[in-house]
Structure 1
């Protein structure tokens, strides 16, 4: 499926360093150096509530990573999925009395427009799960054949213990969580630990047999549709070499989603899923994490429809470190709008001299420290020293903000 148009990214003199990032699976800062190509997979939206500020914060975090890799001279292969068939989408479609395919199409188109407005570099491969049903089914057949999956009625489940015994993965490897917390999160985040007959309550579903009134596809497994985690494992293997450089998403995906995606990849390939798992923090609004169930979502499209400059939305998000939790408020946006206005005035005239390119590169290479980078620009603006042309290109290329 199509993504969106690529924004201009000025070419800067020389090269920066590939950034260091926080790897959840080792709880440490690691280098994100790539081989020939930096491979990135970021979990995409389930298209029923796009695009709220929490979504935008996640995709801006990985947009920063892509920009820094490009500045370091790396080729980048970026893959993002769209979970365009899943229980939350179907439930929302039923509640809204709209066909689930129509709802998904509308929300994906809205997401594309928001990403374009925010100057997010698009993925090289933007992949709908509904286009990958056959490869997923074939992968599940392979897992059954190798004994790392089992049938339960019309459904197929991943055998976590068998996978741990025959692959480089074990349960808890990516999330570093204890079993008690895993069971709580599995129940909250789409798992079914209470289902009778499972070999382990934490075993996730690989293939859901057809349910009355729900979409399904024919396969060697019988009619049905993919489970959540296997879709990302298969899409990643289809378009990237594993282990990829970075697998990413919001922190709420650490368990069970990224834990079992890595387990599925290891069981299918005998290799790790990624060299680093990187996660963005969560965004709150009115004291609670943004979520559809709480009705506390702030939408990018609503802000821009009210005349908010998308560059100000971008700055408001980049003022917060990508892996920290923070809260969106009207004051956060007003501060970013004032900041942008000051930067635009400052950019009205340029001069020769020492610029801030290297300072920006150094700050951002330190675990994508966008707040430090913005502070560097603020200090130069406040000093009254005019920017160099390279300064303006650097702000555009590395921070994604084209000053006027």
Structure 2
């Protein structure tokens, strides 16, 4: 029965997203079905084979090394802070952005990243039937996270149309940053974290195609490469990259502080009228039907629904800390779907982070496309997290 509910959940989520699509006739169903089959194969490979787990861990180790390199620079400037056992979010997750952007801009300068975009984008595009840049971006987010990935392709973003630009904003709701994988692994099982990362990125591609279908001509389906005369010298390039990264860090910080504080203010207002009422509790009630569609029983469904509300209203860290205390008493299926759902940045704060990133790397006019379509970003983020959790749930009982 619960397995059938899990399957029904996949159909319900996709049906709701389809109803929200303003251009239903343009939805590429062949690409969607292909991606779903591909996701099922990936999930089976990672959950059922030792080779799959080894490959994911090997790739994750490389990005852990990148973070360690970034921490060397941070420690040089803030040695006392980095020496602490617990380091603040600003230093552990945001500050490494400066080095990560610079590192990948160096790869772009020498043509390495452009080559990867072309080859990997071609492969995923062939599998899904969707455009190259979007296909690569979905894979790129698997390792870099949303804001870092957006910064790396900022030149390409500045050269595409607004409607297509919105696709990247929608997709950006469904990733995590490589800099915080270690924090996740200290709270929940590594297996489901590593499974969730690629599933979220592929589902971001799938949901974006349904929610904002855009036809891209063969002439537009290319990776933008600046002409040689547009390129600055090497040291000017990396210096500019560092400044772009620093600006992004402070913009994101401001957005996160503002949205978390706004949530606290709303809880205070609700509590004034009804004792104990919070926005988290409201969302947990709203999400309870979806929790049942994850194939969960009564008590587990309400608990996971509460985690969904906590994640959306605040962030996944608060929810993961709660789950960490309860995880030993939960059945495997509940743990699998809960961890998978929580492994992403899909919440109100992320909308601010994405808008702030667009505003820092593009013009105000282009970044306004995000402000006008906030609801699409929220629908995408929740739908991707649910779909990923439902796919994983099919394999763990």
TM-score (normalizing by structure 2)? 0.24
Compare the two structures and name the one with the higher helix fraction: 2
Q: Which has the larger radius of gyration?
A: 1
Instruction: Identify, as 1 or 2, the structure richer in strand.
Output: 1
TM-score (structure 1 length as normaliser): 0.24
